Structures are given as C-alpha cells and as structure tokens.
Amino acid sequence: MLAIEQALSGTRTSHPLPRIRPLPHSVVGLSLLHTGSRTQIVVLLCSLVAGYVLAGKLGLQLATFHPSATPVWPPTGISLAAFLLLGYGVWPAIFLGAFTVNVTTAGSIVSSLGIATGNTLEGLVGAYLINRLANGRKLFEQQGDTLRFVLLAALISTTVSATFGVTTLSLGGYAAWEKYRVIWTTWWLGDAVGALIVTPAIILWALEPSLNWDRIRLLEIGLSISLLCFVTSIVFQSSQAMTGPNYPLAFLTLSILIWVAVRLGPRETVTAILLCAGIAIWGTLRGSGPFARIDQHESLLLLQAFIAVIAVTALVLAVGVSERRRAEQDLDELNQTLERRIQDRTSTLQATVEQLQEFDRLKSAFVGVVSHELRTPLTSIMILSENLLGELAGPLNEKQAHYASRIQFNADRLRHMLNELLNLSKIESGKVELHPTALSLHELLAEVVEVLQPLAQQKSIAMNIASMESLPNVRADRDKLYEVLANLLENAIKFTPSGGSVHIGAEVLDDRHIRMNVSDTGCGISEEHLPRIFDKFYRVQPNSGTGSGLGLAIAKGLVELHGGTLGVESVLGKGTDFYLTLPYTTSPSFPRATIDSTGSRDSLA
C-alpha cells in the first residue's frame, strides 16, 4: 500500500490521467447508427459479424475438453461491448455471427441456432443489467460500477449462454449428459473470462481513442508493457510446474499489472491484461508455465482462475485510482475557482473600502470647510442678538426681548455644533495639536464638577466623587481632557432621572495607566446600541431632539490621541458605566488601590 501511495503521489501532478468523457456520439459506430446511411449501417453490422466470427474461431482453437467449450471466449466481450456502445438494435449481427461460428464448428443447424440464441441473450441480459444498475457505458468511471460489471456481466449473464449451449448440445447428442457439469463449467468460465478481458478494452478504447501521451509518458508505457510481456513470457515458458518446486511465479506478473494499474490508468491496464492473458494461454497450451498439468483440463481451469483474478484485481484497482485522481482534479479545480472568486471579491471589497474612505475624507473636508465658513456669519448673528438684548438700539418690549433671546440661544447651540464638527474633522484628519502636561485629576475634576453641579442640583442628583489626591498625575492636554470629562459627566446627569446618583472613581490600573469611571443610575443602554455608541452622529434616542451625536465620538478620539482607551458597560434600566484609561507620568510608590466615594483606599496587594 505504501508503494501504491508513493506511485499515486508521483503521478498526480506529472501525468494526470485522461478522463473518460461520456459523450453520446464519441463512438463512430453509435453515430453511424443514428445518422449514417443504410450502406454505412450495413457495413458496420457486417464488420461486427466478421469480428465476432474471427474472434470465435480464434477462441475455439483453445478448446480441448469439448469442441464448443473453450477456456476463453472473446465473442462474449465483443457482444456485450456492442450492445453497450451501439444499442440493442445490433442483435441480428450478434446472432448471425454466433450462428456462423457454431454451425461451422460442431453440431447441426438446430443446435447452432440454440447456441446462437444463448450467445445473443447473454449479451442482451448483460447489457440490460449494466444499463440499469452499473451506469451503462460509463461503467469504468467508478469503482462500484466496475464491481457490478464483474458480478452482473461476467458472472451472472454468462450463465445464460452456458445453459443454452450445453443443454442444446446434450439434447442433440453432441455432448454426454454425464459430462454436462464439466462442460457447463468450462463454457461459463470461458465466457466470463472473455467478458472480463475483452469488454473493458473495447469500451475504454472506443470512448477515448486519442493517444494524448507526451514523450515521458510514452516511455513509461513502453517500458512497463515491455517488462510485463518479458516477465510473463519467462513465467509461462518454464517447465517448473511439472518437474520442479511449485513456486508462485505467476504473482510476478500480477505485481507488474498492479504497477501498470496505479501508474497508467484503466485503458492501458486492460491492454496489458489482454497481452498478459494471451501470453499465459499460449504458454499453458504448450505445456509450460505454473499452471501446466498432466491433465490439460485442470490446467485450463487453473488458467481461467488466474486470468479472472488478475483481470478483476488490476481493472478494479485502475478504475479506483483513476476515480481518485479525477476527484482530486475536480477538487483542485474547485479550489482554484474558489480562490479566483475570493480574489475577485477581495479586490471588489478593497476598491469599495478605498472608495468609502475617499468619500469619508471628502465629507470630513467638506464639513470642516462648511463649518469654518459658517462661523463668520454666526458670530455676526450672536453679536447683533447681544446688542438687541442690551438695548443698544433702543428699548425692547417683552415679545421682542423673547425673540432676541431665542435667537441668541439657538445661535449658541449652532456654534456649539459647529465647534464639534470642526473638532471631529481635525481628529479624523490628524490635525489636532496636543499640549500635554502633568495634570492632577483631582484638580481637573473639581473644575468640571463645579461647572456641572448646578445642573445636577436641578434634578436632585447626588454627585459621589471619590478622592483622587493620592493618584499620580496624568500626562494629557488640559483642555482636551476637560472636554472629555465634561462630556461624560454631562451625559450621566442628562440621562439620570431625578433623585438618582452619579459616581466618579479612579484607580491605578497597572504600572502605566490610570482607569477612571463615570457611572450613573440612569436608564441604561440596550445591547443593540452599545456597539455603535461611539459612532459619529449616532444617538440612542434619535427623536429626542437634543445633541448632535458627536460628543462621544469626539471624546473617544481625544482619549485615543492620548494613548488611552474609552469604553462603556451598561445594563438597561440600571445604569451606565463609562471608563477611560490614561497613561500617568511616574510610577506610584504605593500598592494598587481602589478609591471609593468616601475617599478611603482599600489595598488590593
């Protein structure tokens, strides 16, 4: 098995076997039967008759026990191949050929008609069984179909001819009834051997007649066939069987046939089987070789068994190897097709991504330009509205003052949105300039809380601030970090109902980072919104009418510019916890600790 696997791997890429293509008109005779003229059809059928008669006469030359019972009957293979390739309509040619062979050999016209009937029915039954159960003329493409051919055609259908023939001869007095079993066995085995060695050769060469061999493959075929013929000739020319030790020299021939089956393919294998069988028959009939016996009938029985064994073994193995190679070729083609499709899809996706990136860049540039250009007229609107409210142009009545205040309020909102758009555009384009310094989180957070404390008091929200005086300083841009903390704390107050609480804590995360938490007891965020919470223009409540959806995106971008991270955890209906990490300036001289809302520190070391 190891040698077979090595042979398979060595042939797989260098000499792939040709496939048996099931083309309905790849056989000349089949095409003529469908489209040929009457003359062409007659010529074809006459050629079939002549070939059958010639093969029959050649086979009967081997008959020793009875003139009509031969150890190898090639016409069985011819008739079965003809029915499979040309159809059931050629039965008259098969019948006429069988009748001609037998009427000129032994017996009477009546017995010859009976034998011819059995020969014709044998081919019809075998072809019918193969067409129904073994994939028709494509029976040598799969190993399972080949095994069914051996069972149905070589072993079962051949009993028809043997039964018809021996019974007819016995009834006509041309064979003794006491020898019925022996003659029947010889007849049946001869037909089986003929089907095994002739039918595959005709079908495989008819379906694939082209010799698509390169020089190296032609050399390998020539050497393999020559070696097979040489070894078989040596084995079957010796007289060892009757005079010397009974060494199993015939297995030398089988080993070479196995090599041919693995390396060369089914078509070349059946050709080698024909040559091997011919040399073995010739040597055995001359009284030499491993099967030569004093009783010639015994010799022929051993020879029939040998030919059947090597034919079935080599043919089934060759078909199995060929089937495996075709499966591997199909798999390789499928892999190549998938790789091409993946490459095409990847190229398409890459082009799409690049296009989207370009669109995003153009959009950011457009937003930046438009936002910058809108600031000038917006500044004028805000100045004029302040002048109106300051009654620089004269006193205002109550309605006019209300309108002026609304103008100023909305102008201020628009200014805030434009600033966010400009900040985001700078972050995405990499134009944000950081001025990092050593900052105390305790001091910076105190300023943020001082500004937002009135907003929390309006909603009776408790602000629980952990003491951060013992924490090391962080290295960050003061204004940018102030903006991040203000955004997180303002969101916490905004989405926490009255009577709730907001907690701000911090701890040393590792030897390089500090982690801060801004948590609340608000409405929380559902899991479907969490993955997109930091996307641009994304709002959990799109119809709320407040916010531009840019605050968290800007905060995340600013934190990442500082080499930190910003994340979120939330449970719907229980609250949200935003956490950020920032690098600190010096390593702390105290163990890692968690600072709670009361300012105490619990050591975790």
Please check whether residues 394 and 415 belong to one and the same domain: yes
Residue 466 within any structural domain of the chain = yes
Using 50, 70 and 90 to split pLDDT, how confident is the model at 430? low
Same domain, 423 and 441: no
- 576 within domain boundaries: yes
Contact 459, 496 (CB under 8 A): yes
Helix, strand and coil content of the chain, in percent to the nearest 5, comes to 65, 10, 25
Q: Rounded distance, CA 176 to CA 178, Å?
A: 5
Residue at a domain's end among 398, 429, 460: 429
pLDDT for the residue numbered 96: 93
What pLDDT is recorded for position 75?
92
Is a pLDDT exceeding 70 seen at residue 3?
no
Q: Annotate 55-81 with b (16+ C-beta within 10 A) or e (fewer).
A: bbeebbebbebbebbbbbbbbbbbbbb
549 vs 443: CA distance, rounded Å: 29
Q: Which of 595, 583, 589, 602 is nearest to 473 (CA)?
A: 583
600 in a structural domain: no
* Mean per-residue pLDDT, 361-378: 70
pLDDT at 243 over 80: no
- The better pLDDT of the pair 568, 59 is held by 568
CA distance 456 to 477: 26
pLDDT over threshold 90, residue 121: yes
CATH number, position 451: 3.30.565.10
Specify whether 469 is located in the same domain as 423: no
Structural domain tally of the chain? 3
Is the same domain home to 505 and 526?
yes
Q: What is the pLDDT of residues 316-328, one digit of tens each?
A: 999 988 888 888 8
Answer yes or no: do 414 and 498 share one domain: no
Nearest alpha-carbon partner for 188 in 226, 154, 217:
154
3-state secondary structure of 204: helix
Last residue of a domain, one of 429, 456, 487: 429
Residue 569 pLDDT greater than 70, yes or no:
yes
Say yes or no: 467 and 418 in one domain: no
Residue 379 binned pLDDT confidence (cut-offs 50, 70, 90)? confident
Domain containing 483: what range?
437-583
- Is it the case that residue 23 has pLDDT exceeding 50? no
Task: Provide the pLDDT for residue 26.
Answer: 39
Q: Is residue 10 part of a domain?
A: no
Under a CB-based contact definition with an 8 Å cutoff, are residues 13 and 62 in contact?
A: no
Number of H helices, E strands in the chain: 18, 9
What average pLDDT is seen over the chain?
A: 79
Mark whether 487 and 543 lie in a shared domain. Answer: yes
Which tokens is 57 given?
């006469």
Residues 529 and 447 grouped into a single domain: yes
- Sign of the CA dihedral running 115, 116, 119, 122: negative
Q: Which range, 340-349, 549-558, 587-596, has the best average confidence (pLDDT)?
A: 340-349
CATH number for the domain harbouring residue 413: 1.10.287.130
* Cα(262)–Cα(256) distance, integer angstroms: 10
Cite the DSSP H helix spans in 390-440: 398-429
Is there a single domain that holds both residue 514 and residue 443? yes
Is the residue at 475 inside a domain? yes
The answer on 535 and 465 residing in a single domain is yes
Q: Say if residues 554 and 481 touch (Cβ distance below 8 Å).
A: no
**444 & 425 share domain:** no
Output the DSSP codes for 141-182.
Answer: SSHHHHHHHIIIIIIITHHHHHHHHHHHHHHTTSS-GGGHHH
Do 442 and 425 fall into the same domain?
no
- Specify which of 29-43, 373-387, 507-521 reaches the highest per-range mean pLDDT: 507-521
Q: What is the CATH number of the domain that holds 149?
A: 1.10.1760
pLDDT at 603: 28
Measure Cα distances from 358 to 157, 230, 352, 363, 365 in Å.
Answer: 75, 75, 10, 8, 10
Mean pLDDT, range 219-228, rounded to an integer: 88
- The answer to whether residue 182 sits within a structural domain is yes
Q: Which of 231-245, 264-278, 493-507 has the lowest mean pLDDT?
A: 231-245
Residue 593 · residue 472 · CB < 8 Å: no
Query: What pLDDT score does 54 carry?
Result: 92
Report how far Cα 42 is from the mean position of its chain's Cα atoms.
51
Contact status, residue 534 vs residue 566, Cβ threshold 8 Å: yes
- Tell me which of 378, 407, 429 is where a domain ends: 429
In a domain, 229, yes or no: no
Q: Look-up: residue for tokens 């008819």?
A: 206
Q: What is the Cα–Cα distance from 204 to 187, expressed in whole angstroms?
A: 26
Q: Is residue 543 in some structural domain?
A: yes
523's tokens: 């409405």
pLDDT in tens, 441-483: 888 888 888 888 888 888 898 888 888 888 888 888 888 888 8
pLDDT at 598 exceeding the cut of 60: no
CB 166 within 8 A of CB 182: no
Q: In this predicted model, what pLDDT tens digit does every residue of 154-203 receive, in sequence order?
A: 889 989 998 998 898 888 888 888 888 888 888 888 889 899 989 999 99
Which range, 347-351, 387-391, 423-427, is most confident? 347-351
